[in-house]
Structure 1
Amino acid sequence: MAKSMNFVMALTLLALAPLCFSAKTSGGYLYPQFYQRSCPKAQEIVKSVVAKAVAKEARMAASLLRLHFHDCFVKGCDASILLDSSGTIISEKRSVPNRNSARGFEVLDEIKSALEKECPHTVSCADIMALAARDSTVFTGGPSWEVPLGRRDSRGASLSGSNNNIPAPNNTFQTILTKFKLKGLDIVDLVALSGSHTIGNSRCTSFRQRLYNNSGNGQPDYALEQSYAAQLRTRCPRSGGDQNLFFLDFITPTKFDNNYFKNLLASKGLLNSDQVLVTKNEASMDLVKKYAENNELFFEQFAKSMIKMGNISPLTGLKGEIRKNCRKINTRDHI
């Protein structure tokens, strides 16, 4: 009898095993092995396409990482950012944070197309984005992590959510922290995830006010190291050149490392939303110092915070759908 009880308990533990490594969400569980049977090559396919895209253009890694972030902060991680305008849907691509800057959609289309051939109507666009963000981090030298999977895709978008919920380059520290807290993220997540600015670019229009009139009294921002500011002004004039691109981390712009935090301590954070991490809050400044001193600690926390961010209000179970085309909702016969 004791043996049979032990056997039953063992079976129960095995059945619950995936839950031990998963994230509880309002709609169910996400766990890394979600596609183990239904599409065993899913992660391999995502990785292959991302590798090719990043090898072709290093900047693409930051673009794919940013898309996941901008998606999760609006209605949760549901691939709503990928929807084009159609019918009653007004695309989030038209919002201020995304217009003229969100990119990488063609890479996600290529991944989706390959996955539809391998295992039709199985892998969600939302999960593709989460995996592509992880792979982009790894391919630029950053940490890896097991991505909890099982998200489904939304059947709608929110232009107003995209305009209001995504932290902006000119937001105050408190506004940015509040936007994170509303999504269940804390100050540690804020500082660690800001570290993604160790790769990628930003446009002149996103930081011009720091060079010429940040304080509102006609004076430049003296929180920005002045020789660095002078260098930026050569390609970011008072007017014009809005789309000119600048490295977020000018030391190692295509390598995922902790130089971003070292730059902040030297007053060389490109965006106001970067520099406020050391000028407006003691707790965030302490975290910046820790990550600047310890790359391993930054990597460890970044991975944890990415998993946490990827679990913002996902659609699971019977909610949402698995889109056949990431840019549009399914017709009824594909639901």
Structure 2
Amino acid sequence: MPGTAPQQNHQDRQPAQPTTPPRQQAMDAGRFAGLSRDIMAAMNTVIDGKEEAVELALTVLLARGHLLLEDVPGVGKTLLAKTLARTVDCTVNRIQFTPDLLPSDITGVSIYNQSAQSFEFRPGAIFANLVIGDEINRASAKTQSALLESMEEHQVTVDGTSYRLAEPFMVIATQNPIEMEGTYPLPEAQRDRFMARISMGYPDTTAELAMLETHQSVNPLEAVRAVATTADVAAMLDVVASTHVSSAVKEYTVALGQATRSSDQLRLGASPRALLQLLRAAKASAALAGRGFVLPDDIRNLAEPVLAHRLIVERKAASMGTTAAHVIADALARIPVPAQPGTAQPGKSNGAAP
């Protein structure tokens, strides 16, 4: 169920207080690794043959980001979102986006209570720790824009009053390719709010056979149980936030962003928000790998899922088959990789912590 907000007089309403999990002692590396393994193991019992997608979904959650799942119908986009939600004991809401969905259905609305002679705020579906937006590009741009403030600032403003959202907060949205009938392209500002985009793709033969075997008689999603609490996730977020990033890695990230902006094959390059989110995702990836520091390889591995959906390719380049992924790969090939202290060879990124 959506979170609650205090009932207040329309003339003197104050922002609702955010719902935060109870603070606990700093999480050690062993506990972090154990919870990470448990979450991914639980998800892999449902999502067959998509270990990389599962790990990236957890990476985005731990990086305080939002996830966009894009692919054709029937490949498990919504199932991945539901499975991640099941593994964490938190509040979850699902929004089915349709052309007639209104912004107030998402954010909530103030309703006049005649018996109390005051306005009451009825929170919308966005008031949850994890919000699943199914087929987000079937709603109009007006409705999609209702998510902008909540995704960036973790709050909702209705009738001049701001209401804080619960922490942790994550939006997982699915969308069909824009060539599908009845879809609207996501505005550039909306795409830029999503930390990463995943294309699920079809499973391989082994995974598809396993799916046919296990998904016939029972729904494996029903067997998934929460393996982490909201307090656990909050502590894991603190571990990720404390991950060290060297000046060399920051300069490497900026160089990559500038390379996309100066490319004559792109009409729109990576925004400063994109680089900030790339670095946050890299910190989460490093923490999941058991490191307290970010390597250039973390940036390289996440560059495409974090940046590609934000870039706009020039029409001439697109007509010749160039994609955003091609531009990113070309930039990574040209930018020198910074050496890390203790590396075996210059330019390699498998060294020890700074």
TM-score (norm 2): 0.30
Q: Which has the higher contact order (CA 8 A, sep 6+)?
A: 1
Kindly indicate which of the two structures has a greater share of residues assigned to strand: 2
Kindly indicate which of the two structures has a greater share of residues assigned to helix: 1
TM-score (norm 1): 0.31
